Structure 1
């Protein structure tokens, strides 16, 4: 399985966490990253998005550029357990699959899949990584590449 994990674009701080929206710079950086993914061999079949507005906006921009559907998942919000997402990945038939979410989840999930622990690596906004997992499980992924805005 190939998994792309992306942190949402830059968002403003003018509202409640779940309602934060992308800034103009955030929109531009997401589009820039999505165009890099479009030119790569890892175009996702489907995008899983957090239900938070900034993640949904990010997924919509990526979806438009990559021409792939978005599915909202309620288990990939900032403080969700990466183990729950791992269980969902075990059941997924999509590859490549893209996940658009938040820190600290994107860092914790990436670290769990690559290194087998949950300490979490940092992600910039609009950053995406590609993980190659012959088997979906903790410590089973290799970092293939990353896309930066």
Structure 2
């Protein structure tokens, strides 16, 4: 199974609530650049946080990649979610190539947990960063990093 973990594009610094921060113009451009890195491999499932900036990131991706599946918003991809809880949720789903659009610190911690089996978070996830992982099942230490890229 291929698993992609993407952080949302750059967002405005302020909003009434963190969940309401919008993508900036620079963030939209970052996401467009990263959409081109999917090449011909598209996920079968697309999951995102309910936060506005992740939903807008998905919208930009879908405009650039018409073959993307419809997005499903899940409340377990928010910034402070425990990465073990994400693994449990992923294990409950049918095995499919999946793109997760989320936040920091969750993205870096989740990648670390999947690859190394710990939460040391050695994987930088600047805005619009995209990690590509290969795993038979979403479990601690069970994934192999295929690539980690972000816009320059």
- Residue 96 of structure 1, CA deviation: 1.3
Distance 2:37 2:95 in 1: 20
Q: Secondary structure at the match of 2:61?
A: helix
Using the size of structure 2 for normalisation, the TM-score is 0.91
1:105 equivalent in alignment to 2:106: yes
Q: Match for 2:140 among 127, 138, 141?
A: 138
Compute the displacement of 1:40 (Å): 4.1
Deviation of 1:147 after TM superposition, in Å, equals: 3.2
User: What pairs with 1:1-149 in structure 2 (closer than 5 Å)?
Assistant: 1-15=1-15, 16-37=17-38, 39-41=39-41, 43-66=42-65, 67=67, 68-120=69-121, 121-149=123-151
Contact between 1:63 and 1:70, CA under 8 Å: does it hold in 2?
no
What displacement does 1:126 show?
0.4
Q: Distance in 1 between matches of 2:147 and 2:77?
A: 22
Offset from partner CA, 1:104-130 (integer Å, 9 cap, x none) = 000010000000011213201001011
For residue 139 of structure 2, give the secondary structure of its aligned residue in structure 1.
coil
Instruction: Output the CA distance in 1 between the equivalents of 2:86 and 2:62.
Output: 21
CA RMSD of superposed structures (Å): 1.3
Q: What SS class does the counterpart of residue 118 from structure 1 fall into?
A: coil
Q: Is the 8 A contact 1:45 1:94 kept in 2?
A: no
TM-score between both structures, scaled by the size of structure 1: 0.93
Aligned length: 147
